[in-house]
Amino acid sequence: MRSVLIIILATSLTLVAHRLRGAGANLVGQEVAMALGFILIVSYLIGRVFPRAKLPMITGYMLTGVLFGPSLFRLVAPEWSAVSREALEDLSLLNHIALGLIAFTAGGELKISAIRQRWKTFFSITLIQSTSAFVGVGGLLFVLAPKLPGLSELSGPALAVTIVLLSCTAVAKSPATTIAVINESRSAGPMSDVALGVTVIKDMVVIGLFAASLSVSRAMMTPGEGPGLELALTLAWEVLGSILIGVVLGKTLSIIIEKLGEDLPLALLAIAFLAVYLAEHVHLHGLIICMTSGFVVENFSPHGEDFIHAVERYSLPVYVVFFTLAGADMKLQALGEVGGVASLLVVARAVFTYLGTWLGARLVKETQAIQNYGGLAFLGQAGVTLGFSVIISQSFPGVGETLSTIIVAAVAINQIVGPVAFRYALGKAGEIGMRKED
């Protein structure tokens, strides 16, 4: 009851403050602080309710962002939005910290001992699941294209490019969602290991697949242009260069951990922000850099436990802010524009991902839980996929905008459904609450 009263009070104060600002009160400059305070209080309290319904807390955070974000209120009363578009843009800098810390955790949780134990599973599921999603989604879109709004008017190279790139995005997964659900549910076991390992590997594989798909698509859309080898090499270097920088950062972190002691968590916040922020400006991948560095610290230094503990000290507020902003940034109007195609993409991706995971796990004789429920661990999508949508929109004027809208709408659905499905899978595997408290 107390939590409900706090939610009502905080929401009321925030909305009234926004109304006063709209009436000319001198609250300029305080909007970001109000939005951040609202997120840390209201979104956190709402998120705490969801585990009682056996739903992940991050779903509560995202729904809070959707309910009080600019996209929904734009349809009724923009001035009442608790998280305005301006505040959302200013707070987006916090996403760099969040993504960096999440990627540190992903790399740190990926232990060589687990890889050795299940390397066949990682390879089998990654290969078969990726192939199944790419080929299955592409084939279904090709067959149904004449009947789908947004695709029916396309033909020739434009249709082929659309199908190839949508199929590529169907392979992508969200490491941030995977890590968040595992951590908040305190899960540990084979399902958690496989979900994390395959997700991290796929994150690198899908970037290479996207590079190849984009190269082929550009050649198809531009008669006389070469196969785009230069583009493919550039994107390949982005992956390899990110891994190299990640190794160097990991070695550097090992030295820093010895020196800082109690100040380590604050240093990691700064390093996470700089790694992701600067990577964007030199055309590298911050997620891969931080995942690689976390992997190096965990497996090639004696400070792996200290590193993970330092990251987890700030994980809760980071998750609250990151996933609330993700919900607030969802383009709800996109669902109305291309909802049919996006829904088909979501369903087809889920079916072929599930089948690919089942077959990959069955071939290596994995546990029954992973065979039956493992496919539910790979439905969430976020940063990488949205990044693809931006590149596609910029690379193909006209058709690229339609493609981008479809992708954003599909991600919005997957990011709500994915965490719920993954937590359900962890529950069926009996892994929720199995992580030992230190």
Domain spans of the chain, in order of start: 2-91, 97-428
For each of the chain's 438 residues, which pLDDT tens digit applies?
Answer: 566 666 666 666 666 555 555 555 444 456 777 777 778 888 888 888 887 777 778 778 888 888 877 766 655 555 556 666 777 777 777 777 887 887 788 788 778 887 888 889 999 999 999 999 999 988 888 888 777 766 666 667 777 777 887 888 888 887 778 888 888 888 888 899 899 889 888 877 777 677 677 767 766 666 555 445 666 676 677 778 888 999 999 888 888 887 776 667 778 888 888 888 888 777 777 778 888 898 898 888 888 788 877 887 777 888 788 888 877 777 666 666 677 788 888 899 999 999 999 999 999 988 899 999 999 999 887 666 766 776 676 667 666 677 777 887 888 788 888 888 999 999 998 888 877 665
User: Hey, what amino acid is at 219?
Assistant: A
Q: Which of 355, 352, 349, 363 is nearest to 124 (CA)?
A: 363
Burial (0-12, 13-18, 19+ Cβ within 10 Å), 424: middle
CA–CA dist 134, 226 (Å, integer):
24
* Block residue for tokens 């990044």: 387
CA-to-CA distance for 352 and 355, rounded, in angstroms?
5
- Integer-rounded Cα Rg, in Å, for the chain is 22
Asked if residues 276 and 100 have their Cβ atoms less than 8 Å apart, the reply is yes
3-state secondary structure 221-266: HCCCCCCCHHHHHHHHHHHHHHHHHHHHHHHHHHHHHHHHHHHHHH
Question: For 97-428, CATH number?
Answer: 1.20.1530.20
> Which one, of 385, 345, 408, 399, lies nearest residue 218 by Cα?
399
Q: Could you give the CA distance from residue 259 to residue 252 in angstroms, rounded to a whole number?
A: 11
Distance between CA atoms of residues 29 and 44, nearest Å: 24
Q: What span, in angstroms and rounded, lies between the C-alpha atoms of 161 and 244?
A: 32
Burial class (CB in 10 A: 0-12, 13-18, 19+), 244: middle
Q: How many CB atoms sit inside 10 A of residue 398's CB?
A: 10
Report which residue type is found at 173. K
Find, among 344, 424, 346, 339, the residue nearest to 379 by Cα.
346
Looking at residue 353, its pLDDT comes to 93
Rounded to two decimals, the pTM is 0.73
Separation between Cα atoms, residue 99 and residue 97, nearest integer Å: 6
The pLDDT of residue 312 is: 75
Cβ-count burial of 4 within 10 angstroms (0-12 exposed, 13-18 middle, 19+ buried)? exposed
Phi-psi region of 70 (alpha: psi -120 to 50; beta: other; left: phi over 0): alpha
Backbone angles phi, psi at 55, to 5 degrees: -120, 150
- Phi, psi at 27, each rounded to 5°: -115, 10
